[in-house]
């Protein structure tokens, strides 16, 4: 998984990463929000979900202490990071800002 993850976040395409857990209530709230964001941004950004229980190595590497934690990457650089539930509008706006 790490090699694939590195390949994805190192691409020129914006990538929104959602670190989540199946047992996390707020994480469950993020799923439909992320679907809405994907519909809005289409191919401008990739959205991937990382289960912190299955990928503890990645959670540790990126110091994920709480879930959900969202991060935005482009060309291997973390452009933005925030924990908690965000609205689709906020995420679409964030992605739009980084497309310029």
Question: What is the three-class DSSP state of 44?
Answer: helix
Q: State the Cα–Cα distance between residues 4 and 10, nearest whole angstrom.
A: 10
Catalytically annotated residue among 8, 11, 24, 96: 24
Return the bridge partners of 74, or none: 77
Catalytically annotated residue among 14, 27, 30, 52: 27
Q: Around Cβ 12, how many Cβ atoms within 10 Å?
A: 7
pTM to 2 decimal places: 0.95
Catalytic residue flag (residue 69): no
What's the pLDDT tens digit per position in 39-83?
999 999 999 999 999 999 999 999 999 999 999 999 999 999 999
Q: Which residues contact 19 (CB under 8 A, 6 or more apart)?
A: 50, 52, 58, 59, 62, 64, 67, 68, 69, 70, 71
- pLDDT of 1 reads 57
Q: Which residues contact 76 (CB under 8 A, 6 or more apart)?
A: 6, 9, 10
Q: State the Cα–Cα distance between residues 76 and 84, nearest whole angstrom.
A: 23
Catalytic residue flag (residue 27): yes
Tell me the average pLDDT of the chain: 96
Percentage of the residues of the chain whose pLDDT score is greater than 70? 99
What's the pLDDT tens digit per position in 9-31?
999 999 999 999 999 999 999 99
């Amino acid at each position: 998984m790490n090699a694939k993850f590195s390949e994805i976040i190192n691409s020129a395409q914006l990538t929104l990463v959602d670190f989540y857990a199946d047992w996390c209530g707020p994480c469950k709230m993020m799923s439909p929000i992320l679907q809405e964001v994907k519909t809005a941004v289409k191919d401008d950004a990739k959205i991937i979900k990382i289960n912190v229980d299955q990928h503890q190595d990645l959670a540790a590497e990126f110091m994920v202490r709480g879930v959900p934690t969202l991060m935005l990457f482009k060309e291997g650089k973390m452009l933005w990071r925030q924990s908690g539930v965000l609205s689709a509008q906020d995420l679409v706006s964030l992605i739009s800002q980084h497309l310029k």
